[in-house]
Amino acid sequence: MQRNKVHHVYTVGSVAKRLGIDEDLIHELTVGLEPEDGVIWVYGLDEDDGTLAFTDDGVEEVRLLLEEYRRLAPSKS
């Protein structure tokens, strides 16, 4: 039986701060990602108010998506 070896995650806010970008951009970039991509939702007492979080693999996926976004975005000349 395979067990999940994830022992920590990073909130969307901490990933945004680490990468120097807005949380909203992370939400836009990660639409459609699945738990297999390192993305999970963390819920507290109010289950309607979840927090997006990322495993180490998920943070790397966000970084790669951000690189692609910047490569394709029109330059601000």
Condensed to tens digits (0 to 9), the pLDDT of residues 15-53 reads 999 999 999 999 999 999 999 999 999 988 876 788 999
Residue 5: its pLDDT value, please?
A: 79
Instruction: Please check the confidence at residue 2 and state whether its pLDDT lies above 70.
Output: no
Instruction: Please check the confidence at residue 10 and state whether its pLDDT lies above 80.
Output: yes
Q: Average pLDDT for residues 47-67, to the nearest whole number? A: 92
Residue 53: its pLDDT value, please?
A: 96
Residue 49: its pLDDT value, please?
A: 80
HSE at residue 25, side-chain half, CA atoms within 13 A, is: 16
CB neighbour list of residue 51: distance below 8 Å, 6 or more residues apart: 11, 12, 41, 42, 43, 44
E runs forming strands in 1-77? 10-11, 39-42, 51-54
Q: Between the CA atoms of 58, 62, 63 and 64, what dihedral angle is there, to the nearest 10 degrees?
A: 100
Residue 60: its pLDDT value, please?
A: 96
- Token couple for 64: 């790669």
User: Which among 38, 36, 25, 10 is positioned nearest to 68, based on CA atoms?
Assistant: 25
